[in-house]
Amino acid sequence: MMRTTGPLLKACSLGRRKRGGEDWLLRGVCIAISPGDRLAVVGPSGAGKTLLLRALAMLDPLDEGAIQWKSQGVSGNAVPVYRREVIYLHQRSSLFEGSVEANLRYPLSLKVNRGRLFDKDRILDLLKSIGRTASFLQKSSRDLSGGEAQIVSLLRALQFDPSILLLDEPTTSLDEGTARAIEELLRRWLSEAPADRAFLWVSHDSDQVRRVADRWLRMQCGRLEPGL
């Protein structure tokens, strides 16, 4: 299989205006994410970190700039496939009513995921690595804490073997022990295929940034700057 020699994802001069206005939410943002990258984005609340992740996941429209995936533009029918490769995890997870297992199985029923099967054994192994048992799969989404919902969203993403995870405060609602277990899980996920995977991690926790990232960037007033 041919390996990617350049960036997996390259974004050039991204810009997004406030709706109905001339003020910019993002402006002149450029970023390249290469295989094996462990990137972090830091900055004050309201600086545009979440907007950046959503833009990179192609969930929001852009007023300027372009995104390339493996040196190719992304448009039309390629967008759903791209979103399976570049997955954005919001810090406030969105789940529908039903069991954890039902929430994990549902995306596999979508047309873009046709042919993919639910690997329960793999999910159980992932749960075990963060101190959860098989009974977690039967919990109702209504009974989950905020942190447990974050776990479900992460498992839902990992089952697709994405190339890039865009992580928006993925452990903010978890206790310290589980947060550390998630950090280790994601380190292991990356190390299993460093030539094909990367993550971009938004965090307000400076200690966490030092643990999880080997390079970091600062978001300030909608612009991306090198970390100090």
Domain membership flag for residue 184: yes
* Residue 81 located in a structural domain: yes
Q: Tell me the per-residue pLDDT of 33-82, one tens digit each, with 9 for 90 and over.
A: 999 999 999 999 999 999 999 999 999 999 999 999 999 999 998 999 99
Task: Assess whether pLDDT exceeds 60 at residue 2.
Answer: no
Task: Give domain status of residue 61, yes or no.
Answer: yes
Does residue 38 sit in helix, strand or coil?
Answer: strand
pLDDT confidence of residue 3: 53
In terms of pLDDT, which residue wins out, 117 or 226? 117
Q: What's the pLDDT tens digit per position in 86-105?
A: 999 998 888 999 999 999 99
Task: List, for residues 181-206, the tens digit of each pLDDT value.
Answer: 999 999 999 999 999 999 999 999 99
pLDDT, average across residues 6-12: 95
- pTM of the predicted model, to two decimals? 0.93
- pLDDT score at 114: 82
Within-domain flag for 96: yes
pLDDT for res 4: 52
* CA dist list (Å): 94 to 70, 107, 169: 29, 13, 14
Whether 2 maps to a domain, the answer reads no
Band (pLDDT 50/70/90 cuts) for residue 227 is: low
Which residues on adjacent β-strands are paired with residue 38? 199
In angstroms, rounded to a whole number, what is the distance separating the alpha carbons of residues 90 and 110?
20
* 4 located within any domain: no
Mean pLDDT of the chain: 93
Is the pLDDT assigned to residue 228 strictly greater than 80? Answer: no
Using CA atoms of 104, 35, 194, 95 in order, give the dihedral in degrees to the nearest 10.
-10
Radius of gyration over every alpha carbon of the chain, rounded to an integer in angstroms: 17
Q: What's residue 1's pLDDT?
A: 42
Q: What share of the chain is helix, strand, coil (3-state, %, to 5)?
A: 35, 25, 40
- CATH number for 37: 3.40.50.300
Residue 86, helix vs strand vs coil: strand
Residue 132 lies in a domain: yes
pLDDT the model gives residue 34: 97
- Domain residues for 83? 9-226
- In sequence order, which ranges of 28-141 are alpha helices (DSSP H)? 49-56, 78-85, 100-105, 120-129
pLDDT at 22 over 50: yes
Q: Number of structural domains, the chain?
A: 1
Between the CA of residue 220 and those of 29, 49, 96, 193, 223, what are the distances in Å?
11, 9, 34, 32, 5
Residue 1 lies in a domain: no
The total number of residues written for the chain in this structure: 228
Model confidence pLDDT, tens digit, residues 119-163 = 999 999 999 999 999 999 999 999 999 999 999 999 999 999 999
